[in-house]
């Protein structure tokens, strides 16, 4: 039999989950009317949330509950069960079902009881009138007044959870009580999206997510997040620059994380690792779930629909995109930005043309280096080298190495970061770098043939294999350079890198 005192169960209450509790504690909540028997529960090892009526341990506990009592009477009965039969009988009498016999000897039509019923009926009538007026929109002009909205948004964080509980029972208050704090640095439409995601009922509307930009610090932006999936949910925001819009930068990809507390959270500030502000320009911002979610959160994230099917460069393909927004970051899209961007693009077009010419020249030089060492080795490396052949090779080796060393010094300056951010055709420079290393490797193997003591047949085979691989790399670079030369410009006149 399952241990009903083990604290392993999470139970859904309204639009949030609580736990871990033991099955015994959840039974007590059922008796108090704090949890419904049709509610959902989950524990480690379950694939998804299930109704209590479908879980074996709770079926037994539900059968053991006293019948015919209201939750309040049942709780009083549990509290007074040790007070003797008189107290328990009084509780049962107070909670008698309609139609059951009760003691009607006491006068029930006194003026005081009549007045109480009158007041209750009047109050109910007022509430019904308010509810009807709300549904018909009579209160819209009042609820939409700036003063009312400002008062609602200014409520302190200490009072918000209690007011939200009230609004769950009085839906007409939802337009006045915001589920998230007031945000003066967010666009009105973004603020509404945050409120809708936080207010959404999880069981009815499913998982909801929203993201919004803080406009208070243009050079060092951060983002607000809202969701109804549960307390402590972790999210990651990806910030991806739109090509041809970044000022003095070809690309930019960064990420920031945040945690949800009371359905709301915010990310870290987005900057370069060295503290520099990000490039001014247009960005796509993607909200995804982070790793290490609290217990019970991941099933809801897994059930959410992805809001985007295309993954930009820099975002892993195995993450689910939950929300996407577009923003202009790190400044304003003003005349100064447009003028500077135009100047940058003009320089970039000239630089792109220069890069094609430069990479082609490097390719031809390396092709010449490969041909010369291959030709010299073919003449001197046919058989076991003689002293005269070794001398001739050494003289050639000194001349060949001098030029190759100068090339290698240039290639070493091309760090991966520089290739990515400083060169428009960075992929061509990367392949030139790889080709230079491969050509040097061929020559090193040939040098070993003349200076080392080894099996000549095996040495010749290694030289040939490396030379064939280098030749294929050379041809691949030649094709890519020709492809770059033939690519038409974009509608804005910018060079392209598609297919490289």
d(CA 243, CA 220): 20
d(CA 184, CA 243): 31
What are the tens digits of pLDDT across the range 18-53?
Answer: 888 888 888 888 887 788 888 888 888 887 888 888
**Mean pLDDT score of the chain:** 80
**Lowest mean pLDDT segment, chosen from 76-85, 345-354, 381-390:** 76-85
Task: Give the up-direction half-sphere exposure of residue 213: CA atoms within 13 A in the CB hemisphere.
Answer: 24
Q: What is the CATH number of domain 183-333?
A: 2.60.40.10
d(CA 421, CA 428): 13
What are the tens digits of pLDDT across the range 152-198?
Answer: 444 445 455 545 555 555 555 555 567 888 888 999 999 999 999 99
Distance of CA 196 to the CA centre of its chain: 19
Average pLDDT rounded to a whole number, residues 337-344: 93
d(CA 325, CA 295): 28
Q: What was the pLDDT predicted at 163?
A: 52
User: Per-residue pLDDT for 93 more than 50?
Assistant: no
Dihedral (CA of 392, 395, 397, 403) sign: negative
Average pLDDT rounded to a whole number, residues 423-438: 94
Q: Which of 312, 308, 241 is nearest to 272 (CA)?
A: 241
Could you tell me the residue ranges of all domains in the chain? Answer: 9-94, 110-178, 183-333, 336-486
**Lowest mean pLDDT segment, chosen from 17-26, 203-212, 288-297, 473-482:** 17-26
Q: What was the pLDDT predicted at 150?
A: 45
Q: Which of 448, 478, 475, 479 is nearest to 461 (CA)?
A: 448
> What percentage of the chain has pLDDT greater than the value 70?
75
User: Per-residue pLDDT for 81 more than 50?
Assistant: no
Q: What was the pLDDT predicted at 67?
A: 41
What are the tens digits of pLDDT across the range 270-306?
Answer: 988 888 899 999 999 999 999 999 988 999 998 888 7
When pLDDT is cut at 50, 70 and 90, the band that residue 330 belongs to is very high
Q: What was the pLDDT predicted at 102?
A: 41
What are the tens digits of pLDDT across the range 186-202?
Answer: 999 999 999 999 989 88
Give me the residue label for tokens 């504690």. Answer: 25
d(CA 211, CA 237): 9
Using alpha carbons only, give the angle 486, 487, 489 rounded to the nearest 5 degrees. 125
User: Per-residue pLDDT for 95 more than 70?
Assistant: no
Q: Please, what's the largest Cα pairwise distance for the chain? A: 134
Q: What was the pLDDT predicted at 98?
A: 38
d(CA 125, CA 420): 71
d(CA 446, CA 300): 62
When pLDDT is cut at 50, 70 and 90, the band that residue 115 belongs to is very low
User: Per-residue pLDDT for 149 more than 50?
Assistant: no
| More confident position, 140 or 285 | 285
What are the two backbone dihedrals, phi and then psi, of residue 65, each rounded to the nearest 5 degrees? -70, 140
Q: What was the pLDDT predicted at 64?
A: 58
Report the 3 state secondary structure along 215-275: CCCCCCCCEEEEECCCCCCEEEEEEEECCCCCCCCCCCEEEEEEECECCEEEECCCCCCCC
d(CA 335, CA 337): 5
**Lowest mean pLDDT segment, chosen from 123-137, 148-162, 229-243:** 148-162
């Amino acid at each position: 039999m399952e241990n009903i005192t083990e604290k392993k169960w999470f139970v859904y209450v309204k639009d949030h989950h609580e736990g871990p509790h033991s099955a015994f504690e959840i039974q007590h909540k059922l008796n108090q009317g704090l949890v419904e028997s049709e509610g959902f529960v989950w524990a480690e090892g379950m694939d998804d949330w299930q109704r209590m009526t479908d879980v074996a341990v709770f079926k037994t506990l539900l059968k053991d509950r006293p019948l015919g009592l209201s939750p309040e009477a049942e709780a009083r009965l549990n509290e007074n069960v040790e007070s003797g039969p008189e107290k328990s009988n009084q509780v049962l009498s107070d909670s008698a079902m309609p139609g059951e016999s009760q003691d009607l000897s006491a006068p029930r039509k006194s003026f005081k009881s009549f007045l109480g019923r009158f007041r209750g009926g009047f109050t109910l009538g007022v509430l019904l009138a308010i509810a009807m007026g709300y549904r018909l929109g009579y209160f819209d002009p009042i609820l939409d007044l700036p003063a009312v909205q400002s008062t609602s948004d200014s409520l302190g964080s200490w009072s918000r959870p209690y007011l939200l509980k009230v609004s769950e029972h009085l839906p007409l208050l939802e337009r006045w009580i915001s589920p998230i704090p007031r945000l003066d640095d967010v666009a009105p439409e973004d603020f509404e999206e945050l409120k809708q995601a936080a207010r959404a009922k999880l069981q009815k509307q499913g998982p909801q997510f929203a993201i919004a930009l803080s406009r208070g610090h243009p050079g060092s932006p951060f983002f607000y997040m809202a969701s109804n999936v549960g307390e402590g949910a972790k999210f990651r925001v990806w910030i991806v620059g739109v090509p041809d819009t970044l000022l003095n930068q070809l690309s930019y990809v960064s990420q920031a994380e945040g945690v949800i507390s009371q359905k709301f959270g915010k990310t870290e500030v987005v900057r370069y690792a060295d503290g520099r502000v990000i490039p001014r320009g247009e960005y796509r911002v993607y909200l995804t779930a982070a790793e290490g979610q609290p217990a019970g959160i991941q099933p809801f994230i897994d059930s959410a629909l992805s809001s985007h099917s295309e993954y930009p460069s820099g975002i892993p393909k195995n993450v689910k995109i939950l929300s996407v927004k577009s923003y202009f970051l790190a400044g304003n899209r003003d005349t100064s930005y447009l003028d500077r961007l135009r100047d940058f693009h003009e320089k970039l077009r000239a630089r792109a043309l220069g890069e094609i010419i430069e990479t082609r020249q490097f390719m031809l030089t390396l092709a010449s280096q490969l041909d010369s060492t291959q030709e010299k080795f073919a003449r001197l490396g046919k058989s076991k080298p003689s002293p005269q052949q070794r001398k001739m090779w050494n003289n050639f080796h000194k001349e060949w190495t001098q030029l190759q060393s100068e090339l290698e010094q240039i290639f070493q300056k091309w760090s991966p970061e520089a290739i990515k951010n400083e060169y428009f055709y960075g992929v061509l420079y990367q392949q030139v770098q790889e080709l230079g290393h491969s050509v040097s490797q061929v020559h090193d193997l040939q040098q070993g043939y003349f200076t080392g003591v080894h099996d000549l047949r095996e040495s010749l085979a290694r030289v040939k294999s490396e030379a064939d691989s280098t030749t294929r790399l050379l041809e691949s670079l030649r094709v890519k350079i020709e492809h770059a030369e033939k690519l038409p410009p974009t509608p804005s006149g910018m060079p392209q890198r598609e297919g490289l």
